[in-house]
Amino acid sequence: MDADGASRPAVVLLSGGLDSSVTLAMAIEAGWAVRALTVDYGQRHHRELEAARAVARHYGVEHRVVRVDLSAFGGSALTDASRPLPPPRAPEAIGAGGIPSTYVPARNTVLLSLAISWAEAVGAPAVFIGANCVDYSGYPDCRPEYIAAMREVARLGTRRGVEGSPIDIVAPILRMGKGDIVRKGAELGVPFELTWSCYRGTPRACGRCDSCQLRLRGFAEAGVVDPVAYESSADRPDLAGRPLRGAAHGAAKGGGA
């Protein structure tokens, strides 16, 4: 907070997934007056957009959805339905076989550029992003050196930066394992049941895609049962050895505004 007790504004990139929702909760916990930004980039389905709206409503924060159609360019299984998603594979194989087809060319650069623009427009000194380089698919725009480079972009390419008050790019879960992310979310009362991580837009999460596997492994490591509905309970690592402690939901709403 500022010296007078007022919360400072911050823009948080909110996809509707686990990582971005925990990041939003952490920004609120830190006292920021959060504005959530979701980008409809032409992804295969709208489940995560619906999830982002639900999470933003839960916390009572201002929420903008901006349409930037990256499907016009293609180049990813997430923006081109004719390209297959990676086949199911063991969690330990994720990120080990090169950059997967679910990588969207320069997605985080586009998203961060939009967030920096909104942050400068409203006088926000920080942009939060849920990038993670530990339990991830190997995307190049989730690495620490990329985040550092985007901080430099924000410093060099904005009026705030030129005038000596650059916008910071904050990635609070960058070096956290997925289990630690789930534990932090449970501690903060993140409504996990509202989030969506699956690459497919089916009524229930598939439980087999890379994103589902990483998510489920995180819940298992944290000893928390994932409340999202899955197509099958077979081989769900978060259900092994039940009973497990449930995640606490509904804590501390509000964007600090």
Please check whether residue 153 lies inside any domain of the structure. Answer: yes
**β-strand partners of 168:** 126
Q: Could you report the per-residue pLDDT of 177-200, keeping only the tens digit for each?
A: 999 999 999 999 999 999 999 999
Please check whether residue 208 lies inside any domain of the structure. Answer: no
The CATH number given to whatever domain includes residue 124 is 3.40.50.620
More confident residue, 86 or 202: 202
**Token reading at 72:** 């016009």
In this prediction, residues 234-239 reach a mean pLDDT of 85
- Provide the percentage of residues in the chain whose pLDDT is more than 90: 76
Please check whether residue 171 lies inside any domain of the structure. Answer: yes
Question: Measured on CA atoms in the order 58, 61, 67, 73, is the torsion positive or negative?
Answer: negative
Measuring CA to CA, which residue among 175, 229, 179 is closest to residue 200? 229
Domain of 188 in residue numbering reads as 9-197
Confidence of residue 2 (pLDDT cuts 50, 70, 90): low
Please check whether residue 137 lies inside any domain of the structure. Answer: yes
In this prediction, residues 83-110 reach a mean pLDDT of 85
Q: Are strands 33-40 and 9-13 parallel, antiparallel or unpaired?
A: parallel
DSSP per-residue codes, 32-93: -EEEEEEEE---S-SHHHHHHHHHHHHHT-EEEEEE--GGGT--STTT-TTSPPPPP--GGG
**Element spanning 168, H or E:** strand 168-170
Phi–psi pair at 154, nearest 5 degrees: -65, -35
Please check whether residue 247 lies inside any domain of the structure. Answer: no
**DSSP alpha helix (H) spans, the chain:** 18-29, 47-59, 107-122, 144-156, 159-162, 178-188, 210-222
Confidence of residue 65 (pLDDT cuts 50, 70, 90): very high
Confidence of residue 249 (pLDDT cuts 50, 70, 90): very low
Is the distance from CB of 173 to CB of 9 less than 8 angstroms?
no
Measuring CA to CA, which residue among 56, 44, 68, 60 is closest to residue 16? 56
pLDDT the model gives residue 1: 53
pLDDT the model gives residue 233: 86
Q: Which of 94-103, 119-128, 247-256 has the highest mean pLDDT?
A: 119-128
**How far is Cα 178 from Cα 175, in angstroms, rounded to an integer?**
10
Report the domain count for the chain: 1
More confident residue, 97 or 111: 111
Is the distance from CB of 222 to CB of 22 less than 8 angstroms?
no
pLDDT the model gives residue 189: 98
How far CA 232 is from CA of 99, 109, 197, 205, 239, in Å, comes to 28, 35, 16, 9, 11
Q: Could you report the per-residue pLDDT of 3-40, keeping only the tens digit for each?
A: 443 589 999 999 999 999 999 999 999 999 999 999 99
Phi–psi pair at 37, nearest 5 degrees: -120, 125
Measuring CA to CA, which residue among 105, 154, 157 is closest to residue 129? 154
Please check whether residue 117 lies inside any domain of the structure. Answer: yes
Please check whether residue 187 lies inside any domain of the structure. Answer: yes
In this prediction, residues 200-214 reach a mean pLDDT of 92
**β-strand partners of 67:** 40
Please check whether residue 221 lies inside any domain of the structure. Answer: no
In the three-class reduction of DSSP (H, G, I as helix; E, B as strand; rest coil), residue 163 is classed as: coil
**β-strand partners of 9:** 33
